[in-house]
Amino acid sequence: MPTEIVFETHSWSEDNDRGLATGWLPGRLSSRGRALAADLGQRRRGDGIEAVFTSDLRRAVETAEIALAGTTIPLLHDWRLRECDYGELNGLPAADLHARRSRYLDHPYPGGESWRQAVHRVGRFLDDLSLRWAGRRVLVIGHVATRWGLDHWINGVRLEDLVDADFAWREGWEYRMEEHHGPRDRR
């Protein structure tokens, strides 16, 4: 039986308002983001979600806390769901950072990591997810790197095809992960 994964991005942050690429900085939700997080909660509360996994970065945790306030759904923080670490470029204007994104597909950002390394982290998360939550429906709250990891490891999309694509926000993505044995090593 496949594991159903619902992916949602963290809600709109103060850095989104300022046009900054937060990366591994914690970030905080804006007032708009808090309202969007409450909307996410309304969308997902009756959706059969058995657990929520969130990046441990503050903006993702805050999204999950607002969305699931007052529920008994377990909320589990996992650093492997973090955004790509832009290293010395964390906090740079997003337009400047994303204009050069493909340079960092396989080469780490100065003092950070590559997109492939970030997506590899998500693959390790998925390996562990199937150990305890196989055949269940879970919510994952993360970032661009998280979604790319799901697209890559579950849907087989090449990172070369993701790195230059626009990130079109929407209200959730749905994935069905078949049972997996052994570490993920697909490029």
Catalytic, out of 8, 10, 143, 152: 10
- Catalytic: 83? yes
- Catalytic: 10? yes
Helices (H), 7-53: 14-18, 31-44
Helix or strand run (H / E) with residue 81? none
- State how far Cα 177 lies from the chain centre: 16
Residue whose token pair is 């808090």: 34
Catalytic, out of 83, 113, 143, 152: 83
Helix or strand run (H / E) with residue 26? none
How far from 9 is each of 54, 117, 128, 140, 141, CA to CA, in Å?
A: 10, 19, 21, 8, 5
Sheet (strand 51-54) strand order = 75-77, 51-54, 137-142, 3-9, 173-177
Contact 3, 133 (CB under 8 A): yes
* Phi, psi (rounded to 5 degrees) for 108: -65, 150
Q: Which residues are catalytic?
A: 10, 83
